[in-house]
Amino acid sequence: MHHVPESARFTNGITGDVACAGPGTIKLLAWKLNGTSIDIGMDYRYSVVEGNLLINNPNKTQDTGTYQCVATNPFGTIVSREARLQFACPVDRE
């Protein structure tokens, strides 16, 4: 992996992304949450943009966990290291 996902903190309801880029020409870039494949087409909140997993309206209950990207090309498949996504409370600014 050229750019592996890094652990991150999100705030509920604020769109965020987890970045990943694989080596060479990628035929398929997929994502896993807690070891289970994310079905991008079945959940409107998730999309993949230039290899990055975009999470719209992230939710602590549904989205906290470990993420991995899976890159596939004609030479095989590689799975990234795990990146942990946690949530932080927004800071009130008066």
At 27-69, the pLDDT tens digits run 667 899 999 999 988 888 888 887 788 888 888 888 889 989 8
- What are the sequence ranges of the domains in the chain? 8-84
8-84 belongs to CATH 2.60.40.10 = yes
For residue 73, what are its two tokens?
């090309």
pTM: 0.70
| Helices and strands (H, E) in the chain, number of each type | 1, 9
User: How far apart (Å, rounded) are the C-alpha atoms in residues 4 and 9?
Assistant: 16
How far apart CA 20 and CA 56 sit, in angstroms, is 17
Q: Say whether pLDDT at 2 is over 50.
A: no
Q: Are 37 and 85 in contact (CB under 8 A)?
A: no
Residue 35: what pLDDT?
94
